[in-house]
Structure 1
Amino acid sequence: MHRHRAWLRRGMAGLLASAALLAGVALAAEPVAVVTPAPAPSTSAAPGMSMVTFNLHHDREDWPARRKVILRELQALRPDAIALQEVIQKPHVRNQAAWLARKLGYDYQFVSTDPPGRFKRYGNALLTRRPVLARNDHLLAPLGDYRTVAHLRIDVDGQPVNVYATHLNERSDDSGSRIRGEQVADLLKFIATTSGTAPVVIAGDFNALVDAGDLSALRNHYGDSFGSVHVNNELAQVSTLNRHYYEAPSRIDHIFFQQDRLLAREARILFDRPYAEGRWASDHYGVWTRLQFAPSPGSPAATTP
């Protein structure tokens, strides 16, 4: 009887081991979606804000599926402000910024050259989870290029901050460079008339490398957050154009910050992995950055080595 029980125990153990092995093989064969993880929460207690910029690629390539992936990442990050480009609304497609804002519980500002009530509207947007102190928008010169800028002044724990979102001309020839230069000049004028005394952050798809002559007037006043954080890395190989769609790396999506008022502490690329086989969140990657308020001149923090 004892030998019979021992044989039964050995037989059951073998069956369980075989079942576990088969289950492991089945799980290994199951496709796994790859999603870019959110950055680990910062341990720094220094006050500041975080921001994301992302070109949505309007409603191409299964927007209902893509928006779930985008929403999940933004929910994990909980940035203070989000700049969106290529935002569209049309019959059977709710305004993409409005949909994301509602799901996130954020306020939003959408700006388009298409008048309200038109069957299709296309433009830029700013989303924020912070109280809005002021909002503006502007059609950039030259007017025939139909480019805009959205502006929100937000309250970040008692500190007002101006955030701007834009999308500049896409042409890669001399004409495009000239138009972008004109748009940057107009953007800077708009900022000067709307920012007051609060610090400034400018985000968007600039369709130009950060050191391009088109953006030189902007760079004279504002720092490149990603480049400031990754100053010792090979930045020429970093791309915000999705390498699945574009052959050469090109970092053209930027978050600029006012260097005398803010410090760039962290920055990373978002949505740079497919969420399923052959499926991407956009034809661009996103950029996330964390900015810290610079110490006031004369404060103990400003004089500490």
Structure 2
Amino acid sequence: MPLWLRFALLCLFASLVACRTTTDDARVAPADDDAPIDVVTLNLWHDRDDWPRRQSMIVDELRRLSPDVILLQEVLQDEGLPNQAQALASQLGYHWHFVSVDAPERARRYGNAILTREPMTQRGSRALQPSDDYRIAGWARIELRGRPLAIYVVHLNFTDASGATRARQIGGVLDLVAATRGDADVVIGGDFNARADGPEFAPLRASYLDGYAATHAGDDVDAPAHTTLNHALGHAPQRIDHVFAQADAFVPLESRRLFVQPAADGTWASDHFGLWVRLRSR
């Protein structure tokens, strides 16, 4: 056999082996179905202080974290102020859903928002009672790594010290979940304006895990060291921002507070600290 023909056959054999190896590697590569789900919740403090500077800080951190879901409260739009959720979503490349009790035709609207990396297949909202408290829950459904996920954002009452109004509102949220979740696993997060162990949240705790508490076993998670209110801006320390995950669907793996330090120029991202929670599907 001529030398050139022998060399050509050798090259062809090597090429076929390489192709088979690449195909086999692709076939046996582990699926991404078991990748964790990262959720962030943050009260934006609407347009207080230097919003353009704060917006830049928030975008930088969220881009670094690249969570699957972002839940926002105290989201504002107004004359000369583009919707804050839309602005963040645009810079991050996320899909967004803003909800408000303010009429759509109003220039100034205030409410909550959900941002997701994956497209939303359904979305909606429900006003919470009493109507004069101007509270609303938003929800969206996405398909995340082959599994449906229903996401709910809330910002509950803070004026009723008895907790009765929050109890009524969390009942409304749970009714909304029952009416909209379908076959999806559920995450509920936002600014609850009370500790997670409050009696008004007992119906929620019956089926959902406090993601932060579950990942800080042995800690007093309601001690000042775990506050989500920014005491540097005059708030009494209290952990009132939460991510609750469906207990029979998720295992909380990690969690931490975000934006707990100011920028070098002294600017704080918000008067709340954000919360990042990583969940694993059961």
TM-score range, shorter chain: 0.7 to 0.9
1:5-84 equivalences in 2 (<5 Å): 46-84=34-72
Q: Helix, strand or coil: the match of 2:149?
A: strand
Q: CA deviation at 1:229?
A: 0.5
1:256-275 equivalences in 2 (<5 Å): 256-275=244-263
Q: CA deviation at 1:132?
A: 1.5
Q: CA deviation at 1:248?
A: 3.4
For residues 140 and 202 of structure 1, the distance between their equivalents in structure 2, rounded to whole angstroms, comes to 15
For residues 187 and 123 of structure 2, the distance between their equivalents in structure 1, rounded to whole angstroms, comes to 14
The answer for the alignment partner of 1:209 in structure 2 is 195
Q: Helix, strand or coil: the match of 2:90?
A: helix
The answer for the alignment partner of 2:237 in structure 1 is 249
Q: Helix, strand or coil: the match of 1:102?
A: helix
For residues 137 and 244 of structure 1, the distance between their equivalents in structure 2, rounded to whole angstroms, comes to 33
Q: Helix, strand or coil: the match of 1:65?
A: helix
| Conserved 8 A contact 1:84-1:126 | yes
The answer for the alignment partner of 1:144 in structure 2 is 132
Unmatched segments (≥5 aa) in structure 2? 1-31
| Conserved 8 A contact 2:195-2:222 | no
The answer for the alignment partner of 2:12 in structure 1 is none
Q: CA deviation at 1:134?
A: 1.2
Deviates more, 1:76-85 or 1:237-246: 237-246
Q: Helix, strand or coil: the match of 1:170?
A: coil
The one of 177, 184, 190 equivalent to 1:198 is: 184
CA deviation map 1:170-220 (0-9, x unaligned):
12522xx11101001111001000001211000100001011112111111
Unmatched segments (≥5 aa) in structure 1? 1-43, 295-305
Q: CA deviation at 1:119?
A: 1.6
For residues 224 and 142 of structure 1, the distance between their equivalents in structure 2, rounded to whole angstroms, comes to 26
For residues 133 and 247 of structure 1, the distance between their equivalents in structure 2, rounded to whole angstroms, comes to 38
Letter in 2 for 1:241: L
For residues 214 and 86 of structure 1, the distance between their equivalents in structure 2, rounded to whole angstroms, comes to 22
| Conserved 8 A contact 1:125-1:150 | yes
Runs of 4+ displaced beyond 6 Å = none
Q: Helix, strand or coil: the match of 2:118?
A: coil
CA separation of 1:292 and 1:172: change in aligned 2, threshold 3 A:
same
Is structure 2 residue 87 aligned with structure 1 residue 99?
A: yes
The answer for the alignment partner of 2:167 in structure 1 is 181
Is structure 2 residue 152 aligned with structure 1 residue 164?
A: yes
Q: Helix, strand or coil: the match of 2:58?
A: helix
For residues 266 and 260 of structure 1, the distance between their equivalents in structure 2, rounded to whole angstroms, comes to 17
Q: Helix, strand or coil: the match of 1:114?
A: coil
Q: Helix, strand or coil: the match of 1:235?
A: coil
| Conserved 8 A contact 1:222-1:258 | yes
Q: Helix, strand or coil: the match of 1:283?
A: coil
Is structure 2 residue 282 aligned with structure 1 residue 281?
A: no
The answer for the alignment partner of 1:37 in structure 2 is none
Q: TM-score, normalised by structure 2?
A: 0.86
- Aligned-pair RMSD on alpha carbons? 1.4
For residues 180 and 236 of structure 1, the distance between their equivalents in structure 2, rounded to whole angstroms, comes to 19
1:104-115 equivalences in 2 (<5 Å): 104-115=92-103
| Conserved 8 A contact 1:208-1:214 | no
Q: CA deviation at 1:48?
A: 2.9
Q: Helix, strand or coil: the match of 2:63?
A: helix
Letter in 1 for 2:199: G
The answer for the alignment partner of 2:29 in structure 1 is none
Q: CA deviation at 1:247?
A: 5.2
